[in-house]
Amino acid sequence: MMRTRAILPAVIYALCLLQHGPVLAAEAEPPFDAAAGAVFLMNARSGRVMCAKNPDTPIPPASLTKVMTLAVAYDAIESGQASLDDEVLISEKAWRTGGSRMFVTLNSRVPLRSLIEGIAIVSGNDACVAVAEHIAGTEDAFVEKMNRTAAEIGMQSTVFKNCHGLPDDQHTTARDMALLARYYISRHPECLKIHSTKELTYNSITQRNRNGLLWLDSGYDGLKTGWFEAAGYHIIATALNDGDRFIAVVMGARTVSQREATARQLITYGFRNFTTIEALSPNTAIAQASVVKGVQDTVQLGPARAVVLTIERSSLGAIVVQNDVSQSVQAPVAPGQEFGSARVLLREETLASVPLVALHAVERAALMRRMLQTVKLFFAQPPYWGALALVLLIVAACAAAITSRRGSTGRSRKKGDVFL
C-alpha cells in the first residue's frame, strides 16, 4: 500500500502533462551562442519548450542527480512514508561518502529536514546517502525508486546509479532534467524556499550555495548545480517573474561563470519574448446549449480543464476561442456531462482543444411541461412538421369546404327541376 501511495504523485503529474495540449512550435535553437554542450529552456506553467541545443545528448548528471533524490524524498513525505521531523541515523557509509559534504557526524541522529537542507543548499553527498537509507533501507533500493519515478514522469533517456551524482556510469539529458525540475517544482513548490537559501551553517561549518544566480535581484530562486571533470559544469536555473516561471538547463559548460551566464541568457530570453496565459479556465461559462424537456431551457457550458499556453508576446492579441456546441440536449443533464468542444486558435492554427461540459445539473421537467415543450418543438424546430401538418390540415379543410359547396349547389339545381 505504501509503495502505491508513494508513486501516485508522479503518475498524476504525468497524466496532467497529457492534458496541456500540443507544443506550440518545433524546438528552435537558442537565438544566441549558447556556450555549453547542451541547453534547454522550458516554461514551467505550460511545459512549452522555447529553445534547445543538443537536448537529447546523453551526459553524466553529476550533482543534478540530487534533484531526483529530493523529489523522491518529498514524495515519501507527502505520502506519509516519512516526516520532516524524523531523526535519521547517520551510517558509516553516509559518513564516509566523499565529494561535497554537509559534514554530518557518524552515528549521530539528524532531522530529515536538516538533511534536505544540506542536499539542496550545499550539495551534501553524505546527506544524500543518509536520506536514501532512511527512506528505502538501502541506497540501492532508493535508486530503484529514483529510476521508477524518472520513467513515470517521462525521463526516457535517464539512468541513475547512485543518489548523489558521483561518477558511476549514469547518464541523463538536458530535456530530462527540465522535465524533472518541472515535476519537482510543481509537486513541491515549498522546496524553493530551501533552494534559494544562500548559505548553510551545520556543525559550526558555514558553506555557500554554489548557485551564483541567487545573488542577482532578478527572481532567481533555484535550483541546483553540478560538476565533475568528465561532465563539465551544469546548472538547472529557475526564476519567477509576474507569476510566470521559466526553467533553464545548462550542461557541459567549461566554467562556473559560463554556465551561469548561459542560464541567465536563456531565462532573460524567455521572459522578454514570451508570456503565459490561461486561455480557458475550468468552471467558467463560455457557451450554452438548449435543453429539451428540462426544468430550465438552457445549460451553461465550460471547459473541462484549464488550457495554459505560452505564446510570443507579439501574438497575444491574436488568440481566438471557437466553440462547437451541441444544438440541443435532452434532460436530465448531469454536471460534467460533455456537450461539445472549445478550440484555442492562433491565426487559424489550433493550439489546444478541450471538451465543453455542463457546469450545473438540469432536472427533467414535470409531465405537463414536457408535453407543452413537445408541442412547441413540434411547431418551432426544423423540419417544422407541426407547421407542415397545420398547413395540410388547412388545405384539406378548404378542399372539403369547396367540395361540399359544389355538392350543395348541384342538389339544389336538381330539386328545382322537379318543381318546374
Place of cell 556556450: 35
| pLDDT over 70 percentage in the chain | 80
Residue 218: pLDDT band with limits 50, 70, 90? confident
Alpha carbons 95 and 395: distance in angstroms, whole number: 102
Span 231-244, mean pLDDT? 97
Q: Is the dihedral of CA 198, 239, 187, 11 positive or negative?
A: negative
pTM: 0.82
Catalytic residue selected from 46, 53, 63, 293: 63
Catalytic site includes residue 123: yes
- Closest to 75 measured CA to CA, from 158, 13, 118: 13
Tell me: pLDDT of 18 over 50.
no
Tell me: pLDDT of 88 over 90.
yes
Given this model, what pLDDT does residue 228 score? Answer: 92
User: What CA–CA distances, in Å, run from 96 to 107, 109, 165, 203?
Assistant: 12, 16, 15, 16
Given this model, what pLDDT does residue 217 score? Answer: 77
Residue 417: pLDDT band with limits 50, 70, 90? very low
Tell me: pLDDT of 127 over 80.
yes
Given this model, what pLDDT does residue 408 score? Answer: 57
Alpha carbons 142 and 161: distance in angstroms, whole number: 10
Given this model, what pLDDT does residue 27 score? Answer: 85
Picking from 16-25, 46-55, 67-76, 144-153, which range would have the lowest pLDDT averaged per residue? Answer: 16-25
Q: Rounded to 5 degrees, what angle do the CA atoms 87, 92, 95 make? A: 75
Alpha carbons 238 and 244: distance in angstroms, whole number: 11
What lies within 8 Å, CB to CB, of 49 at 6+ separation is 23, 27, 40, 41, 42, 55, 178
Given this model, what pLDDT does residue 394 score? Answer: 67
Amino acid identity, position 197 = T
Mean of the per-residue pLDDT values of the chain: 88
Find out whether 256 and 233 touch, Cβ atoms under 8 Å.
yes
Catalytic site includes residue 63: yes
Catalytic residue selected from 123, 145, 196, 224: 123
User: 173 versus 379: which is more confidently predicted?
Assistant: 173
Tell me: pLDDT of 410 over 70.
no
Tell me: pLDDT of 130 over 60.
yes
- Closest to 162 measured CA to CA, from 229, 66, 90, 231: 66
Residue 326: pLDDT band with limits 50, 70, 90? confident
Given this model, what pLDDT does residue 373 score? Answer: 55
Q: Tens digit of pLDDT for each residue in 255-303?
A: 999 999 999 999 999 999 999 999 999 999 999 999 988 889 899 999 9
Catalytic site includes residue 198: no
User: 115 versus 10: which is more confidently predicted?
Assistant: 115
Tell me: pLDDT of 168 over 60.
yes
Tell me: pLDDT of 10 over 90.
no
Contacts for 197-204: CB closer than 8 Å, 24+ residues apart? 197/117, 197/120, 197/121, 199/121, 200/102, 200/117, 200/118, 200/121, 200/122, 202/102, 202/103, 202/104, 202/114, 202/118, 202/122, 203/103, 203/104, 203/105
| pLDDT over 90 percentage in the chain | 75
Catalytic residue selected from 53, 66, 145, 293: 66
Span 56-73, mean pLDDT? 98
User: 216 versus 410: which is more confidently predicted?
Assistant: 216
* Consecutive H or E run containing 253: strand 244-253
Span 235-258, mean pLDDT? 97
Residue 160: pLDDT band with limits 50, 70, 90? very high
Amino acid identity, position 169 = D
Given this model, what pLDDT does residue 327 score? Answer: 80
Q: Tens digit of pLDDT for each residue in 328-381?
A: 888 899 999 999 999 999 998 999 999 999 999 999 867 665 555 565 555 555
Picking from 15-29, 244-258, 302-316, which range would have the lowest pLDDT averaged per residue? Answer: 15-29
